[in-house]
């Protein structure tokens, strides 16, 4: 699995900094994506441009060059900076004094809010590996929050793009790499997204990059659009009849714990799992939202058997394979599974008091209190501006 760097990017100075490229190890044969029809072969093997040289060749050419100016430990590249987790990582990094660069795909609506916060924004796309190297110049730490869009094939960004990013980071001398994965991904090889996450964990470990892998259970922020808003708007809330329990965590807490882990050299190379204080079923989350909103939810329950049937049906058509892959993940989330782990050891390792971690009750209570107050104020303003004839 040899990703190739353009020759002109073999060593690139930036603001007085330069990297001395290191050799990139070949991917382990055990890291083949299991759905590949040819066993023991890595899935990602892009065709390089004719003017390109391999990372190994580039590092050999750079071996005779004097080492560049050391990169500042505060220089961080956040990949997937506009996402639910990524934007909280950016905010936390800036608050703690890091120099933050955000890798963002070219998009019609520019990510101006990141610049407003004080971050630097660079355009690149993990699905186009040739755009990656320039974003890593002068970078000490990469924090990878990226994931593919719903309309994309899962493997394009989450496997091929991540392999290219890791190889580039290794070649350009990045000192630390943080990868966010999914809890229990090693237990569900039948689910493409979870299998890719697990294979990426192994690829990162075998790359030799100093890294931290953090498995996550679920984001509290995702519950706002899924349950809170539909209940307030009296729209249907979708759920399943499965007893799945998920220990949701606030992405602000995830970001804070991430930087605590980064400052602790004893954690480099470890696998951590972050989970919230309590695991919740879908029915419990809906009941909590109903109580805080002061109104009943219009719940539409989808039996797990329907998800399974739909997944099997979409497998018959090539153009619906990606839908089937995502339904496979939904099926796991709708099974009799607990997405949670005891956190006492992790808190002890990080030196964090469990009481500092926000609960789902407090998070949703704050949301509903704020939104209901705003709705009340808007209603009052509307009455004040009424004109009677």
Residues 55, 67: Cα–Cα separation, whole Å: 17
Question: What 3-state DSSP class applies to 219?
Answer: strand
Indicate the pLDDT class of residue 6, thresholds 50, 70 and 90. very low
Per-residue pLDDT tens over the stretch 159-188: 999 999 999 999 999 999 999 999 999 988
Q: Read off the tokens for 185.
A: 């991904």
Per-residue pLDDT, averaged over 378-389, amounts to 53
Residues 385, 104: Cα–Cα separation, whole Å: 43
Question: How much is the mean pLDDT over the chain?
Answer: 78
Q: Read off the tokens for 387.
A: 């004109």
* DSSP bridge partners of 142: 77, 177
Per-residue pLDDT tens over the stretch 102-131: 999 987 777 899 999 999 999 999 999 999
Which pLDDT score, from 0 to 100, does residue 301 have?
Answer: 75
Which DSSP symbol is given to 310?
H
Name which of 261, 299, 289, 270 is nearest 361 in CA terms: 289
Contact 47, 55 (CB under 8 A): no
Question: What 3-state DSSP class applies to 22?
Answer: coil
Indicate the pLDDT class of residue 331, thresholds 50, 70 and 90. low
Residue 314 CB partners (closer than 8 Å, separation 6+) = 320, 321, 323, 324, 327
36 vs 262, which has greater pLDDT? 262
Residues 52, 171: Cα–Cα separation, whole Å: 14
Q: pTM to 2 decimals?
A: 0.77
Residue 200 CB partners (closer than 8 Å, separation 6+) = 158, 159, 162, 163, 166, 179, 181
Which pLDDT score, from 0 to 100, does residue 264 have?
Answer: 95
Contact 179, 11 (CB under 8 A): no
Which pLDDT score, from 0 to 100, does residue 304 have?
Answer: 55
Question: What 3-state DSSP class applies to 201?
Answer: helix
Residues 303, 244: Cα–Cα separation, whole Å: 13
């Amino acid at each position: 699995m040899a990703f190739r760097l353009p020759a002109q990017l073999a060593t690139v100075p930036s603001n007085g900094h330069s990297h001395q490229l290191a050799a990139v190890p070949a991917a382990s044969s055990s890291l083949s994506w299991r759905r590949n029809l040819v066993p023991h072969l890595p899935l990602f093997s892009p065709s390089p441009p004719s003017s390109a040289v391999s990372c190994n060749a580039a590092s050999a050419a750079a071996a005779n060059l004097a080492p560049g100016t050391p990169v500042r430990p505060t220089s961080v590249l956040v990949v997937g900076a506009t996402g639910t987790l990524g934007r909280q990582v950016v905010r936390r990094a800036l608050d703690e004094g890091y120099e933050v660069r955000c890798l963002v795909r070219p998009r019609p609506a520019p990510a101006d809010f990141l610049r407003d916060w004080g971050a630097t924004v660079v355009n690149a796309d993990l699905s186009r590996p040739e755009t990656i190297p320039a974003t890593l110049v002068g970078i000490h730490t990469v924090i990878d929050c990226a994931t593919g869009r719903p309309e994309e094939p899962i493997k394009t960004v989450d496997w091929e793009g991540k392999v290219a990013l890791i190889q580039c980071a290794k070649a350009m001398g990045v000192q630390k790499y943080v990868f966010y994965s999914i809890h229990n991904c090693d237990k569900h090889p039948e689910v493409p997204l979870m299998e890719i996450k697990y294979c990426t964990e192994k690829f990162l470990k075998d790359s030799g990059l100093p890294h931290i892998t953090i498995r996550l259970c679920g984001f509290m922020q995702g519950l706002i659009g899924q349950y809170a808003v539909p209940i307030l708007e009296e729209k249907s809330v979708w759920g399943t009849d499965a007893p799945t329990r998920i220990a949701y965590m606030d992405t602000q807490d995830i970001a804070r714990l991430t930087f605590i882990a980064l400052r602790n050299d004893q954690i480099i190379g470890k696998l951590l799992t972050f989970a919230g204080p309590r695991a919740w079923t879908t029915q419990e989350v809906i009941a909590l939202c109903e109580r805080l909103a002061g109104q009943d939810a219009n719940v539409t329950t989808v039996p797990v058997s329907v998800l399974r049937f739909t997944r099997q049906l979409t497998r018959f058509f090539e153009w619906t394979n990606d839908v089937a892959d995502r339904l496979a993940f939904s099926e796991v989330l709708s099974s009799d599974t607990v997405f949670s782990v005891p956190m006492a050891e992790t808190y002890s390792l990080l030196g964090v008091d469990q009481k500092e971690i926000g609960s789902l009750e407090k998070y949703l209570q704050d949301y509903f209190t704020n939104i209901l107050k705003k709705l009340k104020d808007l209603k009052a303003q509307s009455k004040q501006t009424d004109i009677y004839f």
